[in-house]
Structure 1
Amino acid sequence: MKKLLIFIATITTISSCSNDIDKEITTDVQVEANEIFEISLAIEESLRFALYSFDDFKNNGSTSILGCPLIEVSEEDMNVKLTFVAIETENCTTKKIERTGFIKLSYAGLESDNGLVALEYDDYKVRGKRLEGKRTFEEVVGLGNTRRISESFEDLVITDEDDNTSKVDGNYQYQVQYLNDSISTISSSGNLIGRNKTGRTIKMQQTSPRVYRKECLNEGIVIASSGIETWEISRTPSQSVAHTLTFSQGEACQSTASIRLNDGRVLNFNP
């Protein structure tokens, strides 16, 4: 009887170890890479909307705004509602990626004296990924033709087409350079922490700032012309792997995002 118990215990231990090994083997790093790209794109593609002023929305038409949304302005409470529809139009040259749903911008009533704008997603989708949450941008003292803006957010949720969710907290800093009263470049740096759709802990650190150029933004390109991000994904409570996301740009604003996986393979993404 004692030998039988030892045998059962041994089988149980082996089975437990086997389950852990199976989890390691079945981790699809290419799926991880795709999620990394989609999270990164989802967060930064709407940055441009937060950098428009209230007067930009009030005084300009739809085609002057990235993606050509329908614009509703409330001067009484200084709110703006952007409505994106998946309808192709020849008049919109900046509709380079698919957006649907609503973005709400509030320019008044922010808690901080330095408050610039609060951006909130309402059934908003980009490339089929739904965003939920609120982001607040604050003005920091700038220098000359450069504005400095900081941002922090919590519990930003990205949901994919199969209703799997990722949730992240983030802290970002932006330097916005102006030339002749219009944006010439945007530089973005920051970090994220949260969980991916499989429940693994994720951490991101920008090791080289993302840089966006005026001429490319004006064409509707939301992929940065340069920048490097390191993404750590947990495997066990004490171990993780690191993937590197790099942005580069060729001629005529042809931007590419490439991810070097921890095993050395490189995957390229285009919006």
Structure 2
Amino acid sequence: MKKSVFFLLLLVLGSCFGDIEKDISTDLQFEGNEIFNISFSLEESLFFPFQTIDYFRFAESLAIPGCPDVSIDENLKKVTLDFSVKKECVNNLYVPRLGKIHLQYISNSILESVVRLEYENYSVRGIKIEGYREFKRANILLNPNRRAESFQNLLIINKNNSSSKIDGDYTHQLVLTNGLLTEFSSSGAIEGRNIAGRPIKMNQTVAKNYKINCINSGLLLPGQGSENWEIFRNETQATNHRLVYSLVDPCNSSATITLEDGRLMVFRLTE
């Protein structure tokens, strides 16, 4: 199996920004890395809560992204995905996961249900995620394939054990073909505080779009989407960064962050 590699390409347009102080410049690059880590941490597990409990009852482990061991508590209608068991997993090439994800299927009424996703000692690419997220399916007769997501106090913890703490609200639109999920789109907003303790906000300007065949092959970044990020220096002044996803080829995308000073940071999953 080819070893997975994740790389960051930082394009510095130095001649245009010679007057920027070094410490401020470093802060902007640091913020760009944090922005990508938050965005990636939120999207990498979206495949799982959009599946029915029957999917996990009958799917082979090697067919599920990350190839987890699957256990189901039928009384609680709770699925546990354990990524700690090492396997020859083709669709784990670019998104190595450790720990557990719990999915609890809750029916509030005929017209409303919720999938609660909870992380247990979970990390992806060395980034830890702590907390839970809820995906509500409501108004089933009007739009059965829409999910409304919300979460509070979700922690994204980097390799230095520093954390971002965020709240969020998203809307996800699923596309099914012959009863099978083939793609989905996501849009929303978050707010909270970053690793440095500064308030942050993100607003999605173009919905992210994901193809299930690409997720199944281990390549996860969306084919399109854009986000505007604000990181506040004080109550009224904020630094603005922009994250844009674009396709390199049919199942390989890049994430480009345009920093406040105009420099670019490019992130890509690749062989």
State if a TM-score over 0.5 links the two structures: yes
Q: Does 1:53 align with 2:52?
A: yes
Q: Is the Cα–Cα contact under 8 Å of residues 241 and 262 in structure 1 kept in the other structure?
A: yes
Between 1:234-243 and 1:78-87, the stretch displaced more is 78-87
**Alignment partners' CA distance in 2, 1:174 and 1:41:** 16
Q: Look up the match of 1:179.
A: 177
Q: Look up the match of 1:263.
A: 261
Measured at CA, do residues 254 and 122 of structure 1 come closer, stay the same or move farther in structure 2, by a change above 3 Å?
Answer: same
Q: Is the Cα–Cα contact under 8 Å of residues 146 and 175 in structure 1 kept in the other structure?
A: no
- TM-score normalized with structure 1 length: 0.85
- TM-score normalized with structure 2 length: 0.85
Q: Look up the match of 1:10.
A: none
Identity score, percent:
40
Q: Look up the match of 1:85.
A: 84
Deviation at 1:135, TM superposition (A): 0.6
**Alignment partners' CA distance in 2, 1:112 and 1:24:** 56
Q: Could you report, residue by residue, the CA deviation over 1:123-159 in whole angstroms, capped at 9, with x for unpaired residues?
A: 1001111111011110133679960110111000011
Deviation at 1:220, TM superposition (A): 2.2
Q: Look up the match of 1:105.
A: 103
**Alignment partners' CA distance in 2, 1:246 and 1:63:** 31
Structure number with higher helix proportion: 1
After TM superposition, the structure 1 = structure 2 runs for residues 104-183 of structure 1, keeping only pairs within 5 Å, are 104-108=102-106, 114-141=112-139, 147-183=145-181
Q: Is the Cα–Cα contact under 8 Å of residues 205 and 231 in structure 1 kept in the other structure?
A: yes
Deviation at 1:85, TM superposition (A): 2.4
User: Which amino acid in 2 is paired with 1:163?
Assistant: N
Q: Is the Cα–Cα contact under 8 Å of residues 63 and 216 in structure 2 kept in the other structure?
A: no
Between 1:229-238 and 1:211-220, the stretch displaced more is 211-220
User: Which amino acid in 1 is paired with 2:134?
Assistant: T
Higher relative contact order (CA 8 A, sep 6+): 2
User: Which amino acid in 2 is paired with 1:55?
Assistant: D
Structure number with larger C-alpha Rg: 1
**Alignment partners' CA distance in 2, 1:220 and 1:114:** 32
Q: Is the Cα–Cα contact under 8 Å of residues 247 and 255 in structure 1 kept in the other structure?
A: yes
Aligned length: 248
Structure 2 gap ranges (5+): 1-20
- Aligned-pair Cα RMSD in Å: 2.3
Between 1:185-194 and 1:64-73, the stretch displaced more is 64-73
Deviation at 1:103, TM superposition (A): 0.5
Q: Look up the match of 1:207.
A: 205
